[in-house]
Amino acid sequence: MDPKLKKTKNSSSNSANSPDSTHSSFPFPDEVLERVLSFLHSHKDRSSVSLVCKDWYNAERWTRTKLFIGNCYSVSPEIVARRFPRIKSVTLKGKPRFSDFNLVPQHWGADVHSWLVVFAKVYPFLEELRLKRMTLNDESLKFLATSFPGFKALSLLSCEGFSTDGLKAIATHCKNLTELDIQENGMDDLGGGWLSCFSENCSSLEVLNFASLNSEVSFDALEKLVRRCKSLRILKVNKSITLDQLQQLLVLAPQLIELGTGSFQQELTPLQYEGLGIAFSNCKNLQTLSGFWEDTSLHLPVLYAACPSLTFLNLSYATLRSGELAKIVAHSPNIRRLWVLDTVGDKGLEAVGSSCPFLEELRVFPADPFEQDLHHGVTEAGFLAVSHGCRKLHYVLYFCRQMTNAAVATIVQNCPDFTHFRLCIMNPGERDYLTNEPMDEAFGAVVKTCTNLQRLALSGLLTDLTFEYIGKYAKNLEALSVAFAGSSDGGMQCVLQGCPKLRKLEIRDCPFGNAALLSGIEKYETMRSLWMSACNVTMSACKLLAKEMPRLNVEVMRDEGSDESQADKVYIYRTVAGPRRDAPPFVVTL
């Protein structure tokens, strides 16, 4: 619990010779309690506070300004509006995570518009909107831009349905915009003209991220924007910005904390090269570097001056080789987070292990995810090397083509503090390539050793033993992602019965059936959601579950041409809003 809260509670008891704490009404006016609670920011803390008693519930709801909704269908806009009168910032997440990988059909839902309509009525002073996996169209963006005069921050991650025309509306109408963060969305890029829609008076931008848009923007407009926005701290440009343009921007904004480069490929004259190096070295506050589209090895040395202060280096779009990475990390001893492509190979990761002792997070993405050739990418050796050198590692996302149980066991011995362990052996059902055994012992070692594990993603050939281990040891596990694993219902049952903190469970292509599904019947209300696709679940079990648990939405999507009784895709989530009213025809709510 928040220590501040504890302290104030105690001090209030002392100072007032307070009545005993079992007294239901608090001896202080609501205003005091509200003042105290206004220091609470974490939504989890606030949820706890709201459960204490009715007074606290009320005080909390009046003081909450930030809304976090992890599943947009778990609650309705009307319910939210009734409970929280003073919201300034909203974070909404929509589709199940597997929609990122095309497992959820188009037009599934998670449209933000109905939320915006309610917000416009109830929260006219809304300032921030952060959406993840939501659907929104240009009309919604225009509505957003024109309905909230004080709107400041828009962040869209993995959303879809809109285009750069919507961004035009935002740029045009939001006079006080401080943040525009557009990341990896399924959007239509109709051109870069939106950037020119920022008015000449707009000087409040602090965050501008358009790295994932490809169209050319007017450099003139961008340059002027950067020039007048003195508070700009995060700037991530797209590929259309050349190196010498980048240099000009850096000269204008040496205060940047996060920079996303544009195209790194331009041929530079020695003078330009020098100028760029100087520009980078003048950015004394730079902590994050990203971008690096295309083959960038040519000009990497210009970065070296900025590297010592870096804490996050995102090279996951740069096809660097081991030598190039080695040079960069040699200059970046303070790196905490590193994202790379597997083109760097095991050798590159060895260099990371020896150069980055403070590394906490490593993500290695595959450059050729559909290539079968084993000679590409990274292996267990690279992961081992990093674990030897980077003992503080606690977050890993690792795509590889081969792994051994022994390697993983050693890795977690070296780094027992893993909170997020996401290992993706890219061939489904791949065995330990040395012993030919399943990968059960690897994940067993992870859950046994890493007691703080919150998030786990499995891969490789796995039997029920893995799930027994998880159920037995992973007591802090909150999110589990399973694919092509398990031997029987028992596996899933172990997890459902053994992991008390489990909130998100996503399963695909596993032999778990009705018994497994129904074994968790009591658990699903304590979780945010369960996704099961391509398993052995039937409609009858889903119907039973829906009947027994009215506060769950049990949604089934069937594949074309499959058996009537099969529930091909099942999405189950707790909700206080009842069955959703915007479900498309292919989603059946039971």
Interaction site with another protein (CB under 8 A): 98, 100-106, 158, 184-186, 212, 214, 293-295, 316-317, 319, 365-374, 399, 424, 426-431, 436, 457, 461, 481, 483-484, 508-509, 533-534, 557-560, 568, 586
CB of 359 to another protein, least distance (A): 22
- Which residue lies nearer to another protein by CB, 188 or 568? 568
| Cα distances (Å, whole numbers) of residue 324 to 331, 467, 528 | 11, 40, 43
- Which residue lies nearer to another protein by CB, 294 or 525? 294
Q: Where are the beta strands (DSSP E) in 426-487?
A: 455-457, 479-483
Chain centre distance of CA 102: 17
CB < 8 Å & 24+ apart, contacts of 17-26: 24/53, 24/54, 24/55, 25/55, 26/55, 26/56
CB of 29 to another protein, least distance (A): 50
- Which residue lies nearer to another protein by CB, 445 or 461? 461
Token readout for 278 is 């100087």
CB of 333 to another protein, least distance (A): 28
- Which residue lies nearer to another protein by CB, 343 or 493? 343
- Which residue lies nearer to another protein by CB, 481 or 493? 481
Token readout for 34 is 């509200």
| Cα distances (Å, whole numbers) of residue 478 to 46, 454, 474 | 19, 5, 9
CB of 430 to another protein, least distance (A): 6
Q: Where are the alpha helices (DSSP H) in 450-488?
A: 464-473
CB of 382 to another protein, least distance (A): 17
CB 353 within 8 A of CB 390: yes
- Which residue lies nearer to another protein by CB, 22 or 436? 436
**CA angle at 238 for the pair 236 and 241, rounded to the nearest 5°:** 105
- Which residue lies nearer to another protein by CB, 472 or 558? 558
SS3 438: coil
CB of 484 to another protein, least distance (A): 6
Rounded Cα distance between 475 and 389, Å, is 28
- Which residue lies nearer to another protein by CB, 356 or 425? 425
CB of 472 to another protein, least distance (A): 26
Which DSSP string do the residues of 75-88 spell out, in sequence order?
Answer: S-HHHHHHH-S---
CB of 482 to another protein, least distance (A): 11
Element (H, E) at 208: strand 207-209
- 493-523 burial string, b = 16+ CB within 10 Å, else e? bbbbebbeebbbbbbbbbbbbbebbbbbeeb
- Which residue lies nearer to another protein by CB, 188 or 368? 368
CB of 185 to another protein, least distance (A): 7
- 8-32 burial string, b = 16+ CB within 10 Å, else e? bbeebeeeeeeeeeeeeebebeeee
- Which residue lies nearer to another protein by CB, 97 or 574? 97
CB of 190 to another protein, least distance (A): 17
Beta-bridged to residue 365, according to DSSP, are 341
